[in-house]
Structure 1
């Protein structure tokens, strides 16, 4: 990574514009009207990629310093796929309130905040509290990026298998950041028969000892009325989405409905090995690049922030996320098949399509400022 100027600096005249006295005129303009900072500084095209290093990839809690390469990599993807400048920041803090206070103080330098690799349930609290205190988009990619791409692939898998969204029975294994976000975006898209499973079994209103977030999920997903363990929930289910990192035996997935859909997204080892999944499912997706149908967050976050920054959105709404997912799913078009339910990250149509859908949704949802 590097920082590069967009203006020439060849002589004394250039220097007088790029630094003193030229910058003073810009400072005075912003002091008179803070909104013009979006026009005269990097704010309108720059995102902070911020972590505490507590849940890095599959490596776990390795701390802020060791997490920095991932933040740098994320920043490169922002630029490569969305034309968005991003600055990696690793914060040496674990208290959620202190984390939020720190980011709030940094926020004037950025047009958006991408939270990354923060452990659950702290990530939920941080995202919610931070968005309440800043008027720029706050987006936890481990939650919502995964959810957007999962929904996009699922919409196409449902079309391929002839299922109606409202009748589809979905089981999510994992109630961490990704699992909770996937549950909520599926509900926002019309899924009603939904069960979320953790180590203790199906999360339902009658279960004791639930965290506040899991208690919300229990209430929100109570319509289907499933209880018991994962194998019980999978009995007759149409869709399995794994974001847990555990292992699901073949005896459990063979209980699913005909033409099942299995998204086993744990990396590097999927919850259900693709060879096993294909014996019992018509559509199989993983988080890996060496199998078809990779659920890769890079399909979502560059275009989403591109669109949000373009309209100077104050936040990312559920409507913007669903719009991004639908735009992704529509790119597959007539090429839809069991091995192609989601486009490639290198499809040049992806980021523009997502950005356009996000811009339109931000305006519909009343969070756009231009």
Structure 2
């Protein structure tokens, strides 16, 4: 099936020559229209915007345009495949922005993976855009790149691999806890994966009231002796001081969130967890554990990143609405409070959660509207 989809995708992309087109908002059918869109009329617009830069968003594309930017260092599950390899994904992201939130975007891939060069480049091109969506930039450099760009600009900036994922995970967990009859504040949550998504998810869950979060990477449970600053921060969320590897982390745990790689968890591991366990195995295309295996191990609520199983945890539920709201409401910084409100808005769309329905479908047209209202 995966091979068949890949063949069809290759054929479609070759036929289309890419998924994005530039279409003028004003027609140019005669000299009169040309004189308004371009010279001489456009000179008046340029002069006005130069004198009144804050009004550029009303007279140019700046008020409706987002840049989708990657260095190709962490593309999907493909790893570091470079700028050109990242371009089809950025085009796809742009298509989703337009389809779900009517946001125009420009896919941009950078032929550098140097953090300083990335920051300088993003800041240099920012005047043309109303928002910056960073994408598929590897951890740990993604954290510093995002922070520096946010601090330098007065437009919304978000690394979607971090925050889009975290928002949708939290939305799913809000409803999953209702299904299993547990509370986030008292549950032990295990996160398998300490990259961009795992780190941001841990931070947002902590902000949402979770008091016991154990994060693992390939070396085991993260502790305060790790050299990476973000991992030392993650270690502080392990308030019970649990040590060891996956089995030790899962023993008695209520939630497993997988943001790592394929087939890392077995049914026997899930059996170590508390009753009515929640498992979101989100590695794509092959999750950490397949849903039937997770249920065999005793999990009550299971989600994946895939569309062919119930409870798809997909960040497309979040990022279109986040930037729609930011553009519409003149938001310059996307705060933790906004992310929490966005997650709650997504969760609220599921009126009666069940084990197979804790998160809206990604084609639910209410989602971007609800999220946009939360970003203000």
RMSD: 1.0
1:228 and 2:277 matched: no
Question: Per the alignment, in what secondary structure is the counterpart of residue 333 of structure 1?
Answer: coil
Query: Where in structure 2 are the equivalents of 1:327-346 lying within 5 Å?
Result: 327-334=345-352, 336-346=353-363
1:299 and 2:301 matched: no
Query: Where in structure 2 are the equivalents of 1:60-79 lying within 5 Å?
Result: 60-79=79-98
Offset, 1:249 = 2.2
Offset, 1:160 = 1.1
Residues 129-170 of structure 1: per-residue CA shift (max 9 Å, x gap): 111111111111111111111110010000111112211110
1:12 and 2:31 matched: yes
1:48 and 2:67 matched: yes
Structure 1, unaligned runs of 5 or more? 360-370
Offset, 1:209 = 3.6
Residue 216 of structure 1, aligned match among 213, 217, 233 = 233
Taking the aligned partners of 2:276 and 2:201, their CA distance within structure 1 comes to 21
TM-score (norm 2): 0.93
Question: Per the alignment, in what secondary structure is the counterpart of residue 186 of structure 1?
Answer: helix
1:195 and 2:214 matched: yes
Question: Per the alignment, in what secondary structure is the counterpart of residue 327 of structure 1?
Answer: helix
Taking the aligned partners of 2:333 and 2:64, their CA distance within structure 1 comes to 15
Taking the aligned partners of 1:268 and 1:274, their CA distance within structure 2 comes to 13
Question: Per the alignment, in what secondary structure is the counterpart of residue 167 of structure 1?
Answer: coil
Aligned equivalent of 1:284: 302
Aligned equivalent of 2:184: 165
1:237 and 2:256 matched: no
Aligned equivalent of 2:372: 355
1:314 and 2:332 matched: yes
Question: Per the alignment, in what secondary structure is the counterpart of residue 50 of structure 1?
Answer: strand
Question: Per the alignment, in what secondary structure is the counterpart of residue 272 of structure 1?
Answer: coil
Offset, 1:11 = 1.7
Taking the aligned partners of 1:120 and 1:36, their CA distance within structure 2 comes to 36
Taking the aligned partners of 1:103 and 1:274, their CA distance within structure 2 comes to 40
Question: Per the alignment, in what secondary structure is the counterpart of residue 332 of structure 1?
Answer: coil
Query: Where in structure 2 are the equivalents of 1:83-122 lying within 5 Å?
Result: 83-122=102-141
Offset, 1:180 = 0.1
Query: Where in structure 2 are the equivalents of 1:117-128 lying within 5 Å?
Result: 117-128=136-147
Structure 2, unaligned runs of 5 or more? 1-19
Taking the aligned partners of 1:209 and 1:338, their CA distance within structure 2 comes to 37
Residue 204 of structure 1, aligned match among 223, 227, 246 = 223
Aligned equivalent of 1:144: 163
1:177 and 2:196 matched: yes
TM-score (norm 1): 0.94
